[in-house]
Chain A
Amino acid sequence: MRGQGSPVGRFLAWGYLAILGMFFAVPMLAMARFAFQSVPTALLNAQTLTKGWSLEGLAHALSDPQIMAATRTSLLLVLVSIIVNLALLLPVAIVVEVSHPVLRPWVSAATLLPWVVPPVALVVGVAATFRGTVPWFLASPLSLAPFYALWAMPFTYRALENGLRSMHARTLVEASLSLGCSYGRTITRMLIPSLWPSMVASACLTAALVLGEFAFASLLLKQTLPTQMLNYQRSDPRGGLALALFVMIVTAALLAVGIAALRRRGMSLQATGI
């Protein structure tokens, strides 16, 4: 910014940061207050500010049977999405980086495709195709998993590709094979352990994606945590907000772990398009 050294410039810079900081902090604080304090906003003043704080709302929400069922569904979806995603992409990334670099641009482009088709658009196609031909497939909430795995592809593939490149996988594999190690052993003993950070990063980001995805689940009438959270909030606004805040903190923590793991390898998350 101009006036790097000038006091006026510095004042403006810090003032801007302070205003933006408030814009980002106030909604979270307001949400936390609403979630954990039972005093209505209308009665809030200097005397009541310290009264009525408790975690009751959250406890209430978490013990709701429908929320519990939705949480189980969402956790199962997280697990299945991560497994499907890595099971598909890990071998592909290894093949492309180690032995078939010719395929690199094709595979790279293919993994970016899901990014162009957002959930709210793909859901129309899914309803038009699978609903008529394989209704049993869409009947299960687990049918969301392949699609979540799909939307996790752009960042998962980039994380794996980056991991393989930064360890010079091709050279290492050649060295390992020429020393007489078998292919299977090279992959299980060398590539997978070295790729562990990439896998953890993409698993965290996939989990955050699944825990936050609303459009696709809602339009296919599936009771996942985000969709059930909205239903629940209608009957218990305070508990609903407490639950939302809780889920948001969990999601943010997952994102932070995933992003930190990517950052350590010099990758940024600017174009992942969750």
Chain B
Amino acid sequence: MTRGTALAQQRWAIIVPFAAFIGLFLLYPVAVVVYRAVTPGGSIGLDLLQAALQGSYLSGFMNSSLLSAVSAIIGGVLGLLLALVIASIERPRWLRSTLDGWSAVASQLGGVPLAFAFIATIGTQGILTKLLAGAGINLADLGVSVSGFWGLVVVYLYFQVPLMFLIMMPAVSGLRRSWREAAALLGASGWRYWVTVGLPLLAPAWIGGVLLLFVNAFSAYATAYVLNSGSQLVPLQIRFLLQGNVISGQEDLGYAIVTWVLVLLLAGLLGMAGLQRMSLRWLAA
């Protein structure tokens, strides 16, 4: 069989460089980080991993988790609502496809330009800040500053909501009209249908989506850095440690922090993958 022999002879010449590339540029650096995190001072120990969860580093993890959780849950609710609204509107046909395409783009935007856009909007010289001040509303008094916690949440929602919409749209479209009609025939109100049938069916996809949004927010760096490089968030603390701005004896702390971050992200992504599979099974039935 020519097909078998020709490619079989070359398969290692093709697979090996690929594996070597991933090994060299991804697995090797990650392995070194994890190895150094679990061998403080040359012997195996958990001191570093413990130290990375104390004091300001613990509050860094808390702040990052809180920011990610809040932006993931609000983004999750708004994104789900958007998917439900779009599924209910049939008339302009282009609406759904336009929003689909737009969300795919917006969910990947972020970084420096997005931070700039919000500085121009709700920064101290922002146009919305001035507009609201003209109406007697002071954004700063409400606790909304572009460099504060809620400012970051608002900026993150800019990519979290479209991402959630993309995740929920297939699940929402998977809800069959006949289920709803069956519920109505059995005497269930619209509200009852959502509470006992619709939302439980959407739950795995939604929770999985929230996990993805959490991971997405947790590892976001550029936006937080531009808006407030001094805030105590894990990605910014990593920068601090990487640039050597540390008390002596703490140089290796960065390895432990990154190890924890990787554990957290891996757990979140595995959880998401499991829930997505569950959702597919339920809605494809």
Contacts and interface: CB of A to CB of B under 8 A. Distances in A.
Contacts of B176: none
B142 interface: no
A116 B30 CA distance: 11
Nearest to B90: A4
A125 B30 contact: yes
Interface stretch (A50-58, A66-74, A87-95, A160-168): A87-95
A9 interface: yes
A212 B269 CA distance: 23
Given A2-B194, A124-B258, A252-B105, A30 B120 contact: yes
Contacts of B27: 113
Contacts of B230: none
A244 B8 CA distance: 49
B182 interface: no
Residue of A120, A229, A273 contacting most chain B CB atoms (<10 Å): A120
Given A128-B33, A230-B226, A255 B262 contact: no
B7 A13 contact: no
B116 interface: yes
A260 B6 contact: no
Q: In which size bucket is the chain B interface?
A: 35 or more
Nearest to B91: A10
Contacts of A129: 28-29, 32
Contact of B89 (A13, A230, A241, A248): A13
Nearest to B241: A124
A122 interface: yes
A259 B112 contact: no
Nearest to A213: B111
B73 interface: no
Contacts of B89: 13-14
A255 B29 contact: no
Interface stretch (A21-29, A75-83, A192-200): A21-29
Interface string B223-249: 001100000000100110111000000
Nearest to A119: B221
Given A42-B130, A244-B116, A95 B7 contact: yes
Interface stretch (B41-49, B52-60, B121-129): B121-129
A100 interface: yes
Contacts of A226: 111-112, 222
Contacts of A118: 219, 221, 265
B166 A183 contact: no
A40 B126 CA distance: 10
Nearest to B194: A2
Interface in B169-189: 170
B117 A27 contact: yes
Given A44-B127, A117-B262, A128-B29, A259 B104 contact: yes
A270 interface: yes
Nearest to B34: A125
Contact of A4 (B88, B158, B163): B88
Interface in A19-48: 20, 23-24, 26-28, 30-31, 33-35, 40-42, 44
A251 B121 CA distance: 21
Contacts of B280: none
B222 to A, nearest CB: 4
B136 interface: no
A33 B163 contact: no
B226 to A, nearest CB: 6
A215 B116 contact: no
Nearest to A115: B269
Contact of B22 (A113, A214, A218, A245): A113
A256 B84 contact: no
Nearest to B162: A24
Residue of B26, B110, B212, B265 contacting most chain A CB atoms (<10 Å): B26
B97 to A, nearest CB: 9
Contacts of B111: 212-214, 226
A174 B2 CA distance: 9
Contacts of A241: 116, 120
Given A95-B11, A121-B219, A146 B21 contact: yes
A124 B255 contact: yes
A99 B262 CA distance: 35
A247 B254 CA distance: 32
A271 B277 CA distance: 13
B106 interface: yes
10 contacts: A9-B88, A13-B85, A30-B127, A89-B18, A100-B7, A120-B235, A120-B238, A121-B219, A124-B254, A259-B105
Given A30-B121, A230-B112, 10 more contacts: A23-B157, A26-B121, A99-B8, A114-B22, A121-B261, A125-B258, A128-B255, A130-B29, A212-B108, A259-B101
Ranked 3 nearest A-B pairs via Cβ: A125-B29, A118-B219, A214-B222
